[in-house]
Structure formats: structure tokens, C-alpha cells
Amino acid sequence: MFKFFEPNKIFLITSKAPKYVMLLFILVLSIGLLEALVLSPEDYKQSHSVRIMYVHVPAAWIALGIFSSITFLSLSGFIFKNKNFFLIAKSLAPSGLVFNIVALVTGSIWGKPTWGTWWAWDARITSMLILAMFYFLYIIAWRIYEEKEQVFKITTLITIFGIINIPIIKYSVDWWNTLHQPASINILSKSSIHSSMLLPLMIMTAAFALFSLLIFLMKYNTELIKLKNKGLDRL
Amino acid sequence: MIYELLNMNGYGLYVWSAFSFTLLSFTILYLVIKAQYIREKNKFLTKYGTLNAQKAKIARTQIINQEILSNSQSI
């Protein structure tokens, strides 16, 4: 079942894919930037500051998605005794952390003209900051315990504690009175965002997803070469 | 037209700084990851160069090693 996840087979694809993903990312990002900065309308209340949404929201979505994937992969690694799942999870973390930081910083920039403050300790912002700390802990744990067998246990434990925070981030705007507005986009019900704003948001999300794929592929290749370096030492 | 695009009704500073920070973060992350990749690849090539003929032959039997050694592979 997991023959596809053998590094030898994956490397044949991952070593060639980055250049094509890079080209596609540049293309989609260019269209997304044109839509987000020029073609999309301004908001009747927030005016042009609403354009920050096109980088803030996709970055937050992808940061949440990547952390959930890391947890799923770490747990799968334990259940199926497959170390390659851990390697894939580890390779996803750097882009997840950067997207989390982008979401926090762009949110802070958006907060100034909208709420009149750069930072507020409201539930959504604070829980996103906690997620960034979990990302940081996860990456640091790999650095500290890389050569030791317990790295798999420690990093999985970090993701298990961190995943508790994901529904808190998602529902914080419903559970508490926060400065953040409730979700404008719902998968199961009708979204309250106009299609002229939804289109650039989706294009920018696609561009960000492609970037995280690009970084993942490059990082995963690096990790595999690192393993092969150790293999040469043992010859 | 250009002034309007830059000024954005007085919100230009916020909008452009948010987009600039995002793209700068992407560029830095890309360069850091690429530097790590090149460092590990060079380390591999140096180690491979020090192997004797028999060990080099064994190393070449692995698909990943063949890919790393091939010149066509690049990011």
C-alpha cells in the first residue's frame, strides 16, 4: 500500500518537479497580484485596505492546513511505522511557519487602519500566535533531537498538543467576542463575499499553495540527500 | 493612474507593505531552502569523490544517488 511512499520512487518525481511548480507559481501569482491589486473592487467600508485580505487570508488558511497535515502525517508515521511520513511532515514545516508569520504580520498591518491598533490580544490573533509557537517548537525539536530515535515521539507529541489549537482558531470568532469578523466563506453554506472578491482570493490561495508545494519539494529533496550522505559514510 | 494605484485612498502604505512583506518572506524562504539544498548536494558530491571504485559502484546502484549525480537534476 505504501510502496509509493518509498523515497527512491518519490525522489524520481520530486527531483524534477520543482522547476515546473516554480513556473506555474510565478504565472498564478502574477494573475493573482493583478486581480488583487488592480482589478478587484474596493470595499464600501474598508476602502482599499480590504486588499490586504488577499495575502492575509490565504496565508492563514495554508498555515492551518499545513499544521493539520503535519499532525496527520506524524500520527500515520507512528501507526504504519513509516519513517518517510515523518520526513514529509518535517519538510512541510518551514513553509507552514512562514505562512503563519505572514498571516500575523499582514493581519497586524490590516488591523491599524481597520481597528486603529497594530495588535490586540483577541482570541483569533492570540491562538494564531500560539500556532506559530508550535511550529517553532516542532522545527527546533527536529534540530535538537535529529540524531536521536526519540525525535519521532517528541515531534509527534508537539503536533498532538498543537492540533488542539486548530479548532480554537477556527471557531474563536464564534465562541468569543473578538475584533475579528465571523467567517465570510463557508464550504457548506452560501458565502457572504462577492464573487469579484472571491476570485482574486481563490487565485492568491492557489498561488500560495503552489509556493508551499515548491518549498516542500525542495526541502524534501534536501532531506533525502542528507540521508544519502549518511549512507555514503556507512559504505 | 499610477498615483491612484500607489496611494489607494490613503491606504497604499498599508496595502503595499503587507504585499511587500509577503513577497520578501517568500524570497528569503526560497533562498534559504535552496542554499541548504546546494550545501547538502555539494557535501554528497565531495563524499562521493573520495570513495574508491568499488564503493562508488555500490553507491551508484541506488536510484537516488544516480539522480543526485546526474547533471540534469536542478531546482
**Which cell goes with A164?**
488542539
Identify the residue with better confidence: A208 or B54: A208
The structural domain count of chain B equals 1
Task: Name the residue among A146, A144, A132 with its Cα closest to residue A87.
Answer: A146
Model's pTM, two decimal places?
0.90
Q: Quick check: is B75 in a domain?
A: no
Domain that holds residue B41: 2-69
- Residue A1: in which H helix or E strand, if any? none
- Which residue in chain B has the smallest CA separation from A230? B44
pLDDT of B71 strictly over 60: no
Q: Taking the CB of residue A181, how many other CB atoms lie within 10 A of it?
A: 10
What length does chain B have? Answer: 75
Length of chain A: 235
Asked if the C-beta of A11 comes within 8 angstroms of chain B's C-beta atoms, the answer is yes
Listed by start position, the domains of chain A span 52-180+195-228
Over range A98-127, report the average pLDDT.
94
Average pLDDT over residues B17-42: 96
Which ranges in A116-194 belong to alpha helices (H)?
A: 123-145, 151-163, 165-175
Q: For the residues of A23-60, what is the DSSP string, one character each?
A: HHHHHHHHHHHHIIIIISPPBTTTBGGGGGHHHHHHHH
Q: How far apart are CA A179 and CA A114, in angstroms?
A: 10
The string of pLDDT tens digits covering residues A221-235 is 999 888 888 777 776
Q: Which residues of A touch B59 (CB under 8 A)?
A: 231-232, 235
A76 pLDDT more than 60: yes
Q: How far apart are CA A214 and CA B34, in angstroms?
A: 11
State how far the alpha carbon of A86 is from the alpha carbons of A79, A81, A181, in Å: 12, 10, 36
CB pairs under 8 A between A and B: 122
pLDDT at A62: 97
Whether residue B28 lies inside any domain: the answer is: yes
